[in-house]
Structure 1
């Protein structure tokens, strides 16, 4: 049996928000948390439930505890959803694949896990509200990470480039005039990740231990999706390195194919997961 304690928080509603999920199973504990710059408290509650259930294997029994009547009543009574339909669809799909019980807890009633989830969600909301690259006077500065201890850091980013079907076929066959598009894009992404601090002014130079890039050719959508994973044992995260790897890989694909397809579109470069450091694991997709 898995127990999940969740909470969401929002500064302003709508405004910067945070969510947290605490998973307990066989004496083990896992804390998940994340934030968004512009959201609502209800969406943060849903995000907490989604990310919590995503870490439970399909078919397992799980009890979700929440102080949100909006969430618990909707899931237990099957009430009609009027807003946040994108998140409700994700939550319904996850719930259907698991044996989920939904339990409402009185908020701020002293339950330790509920209180901890609330605190984590508030911390994430506050963090989403304040930029880290400005000092107390509003001037730009590089964040001082010297007092942080090195931890294992992982970041995964994705992005895609749409093109004509004929262009995708040339890439798949390796018949583009400039050469093997994906091989060159992979090398470009790796090099870019290693030199991120030279491209993004306030990034720290890092000792990266692993960089991998994967390419998925989607014939139905006529696009190439790039996924980059970066690992390091460092005092700060590697999100920017993963994002830079994806961006430069996609730009390289564009450069190598632009002679035959000027209408290519680079889209949806985003972080999908990160772990390590004080913020723990944050799963965005």
Structure 2
């Protein structure tokens, strides 16, 4: 008989995570238990719990009877009670492959209940999560090129769905005459600010049609704000885009302010040939493995 004690940990859920499995051979009580572990920079607690079970079973001979002990009801009840699998389907498929035609029993144990092996697995998993959080992986490779250097859309199918938010800004510098005409709604083509806001919203939703390698995403909310600085004849545009998905919304936020600015330029070019669009930049992003990045 082989006993496997597994546990997973995640900081933030989603966030940096770790997993561990303690493997004991009850036929040889003097044998030192095997300990395997791993981590992931952007994951969930359930994925780490699953991965611990997968890797633990994969580390054992296929002809041995196994008892898997886990404090995850998500894992144990899905296996024992046939709970419907709604997420992490890639890992469930891997687990199905590992357990096919094997004699395995799945047992739930209460976490933090002074079970020596469960506590050890928990401690190792937490340590792995802390390690990857403190030392995130870095890469100098461009994400949109393959091994041969050809352009390629990034595969996001295995990324976790998280709340993604991005803010961007840009400035439109005008003549004083043009600025006052915009402010007082005297532009012949119509309401410049309202038109620019609508254009920015539409552009954010169409970003994947404009930028070749952007993924089509489901946007939850778009905000576009305008600040009119009469002393400097500058219109500052700020966008905030929100989505719950597998990829960020930085490009949507940047596209929104850019098209808003171009709309102002288009509507005012008849009276101001020197309107300048400048300082297009990302202000803030959150969600995904890189967490919060703030340039404000």
Instruction: Give the TM-score normalised by structure 1.
Output: 0.57
User: Are 1:231 and 2:242 matched, yes or no?
Assistant: yes
Which of the residues 135, 139, 142 maps onto 1:119? 135
Instruction: Say which SS state the counterpart of residue 135 (structure 2) adopts.
Output: helix
Counterpart Cα distance in 1 of 2:201 and 2:275: 22
Counterpart Cα distance in 1 of 2:164 and 2:238: 17
Instruction: Say which SS state the counterpart of residue 155 (structure 1) adopts.
Output: strand
| Counterpart residue number, 1:195 | 206
Counterpart Cα distance in 1 of 2:129 and 2:232: 44
Instruction: Say which SS state the counterpart of residue 279 (structure 1) adopts.
Output: coil
Counterpart Cα distance in 1 of 2:209 and 2:277: 23
Counterpart Cα distance in 1 of 2:130 and 2:217: 37
Counterpart Cα distance in 2 of 1:258 and 1:244: 21
Counterpart Cα distance in 2 of 1:149 and 1:114: 19
Which of the residues 142, 145, 159 maps onto 1:131? 142
User: Are 1:219 and 2:235 matched, yes or no?
Assistant: no
Instruction: Give the TM-score normalised by structure 2.
Output: 0.55
Q: CA deviation at 1:114?
A: 10
Counterpart Cα distance in 2 of 1:276 and 1:117: 15
Instruction: Say which SS state the counterpart of residue 193 (structure 1) adopts.
Output: helix
| Counterpart residue number, 2:164 | 153
Counterpart Cα distance in 2 of 1:175 and 1:142: 45
| Counterpart residue number, 1:57 | none
Instruction: Say which SS state the counterpart of residue 251 (structure 2) adopts.
Output: helix
Find runs of 4+ consecutive structure 1 residues off by over 3 angstroms: 112-118
| Counterpart residue number, 2:219 | 208
Counterpart Cα distance in 2 of 1:118 and 1:165: 51
Q: CA deviation at 1:130?
A: 2.2
Q: CA deviation at 1:113?
A: 11
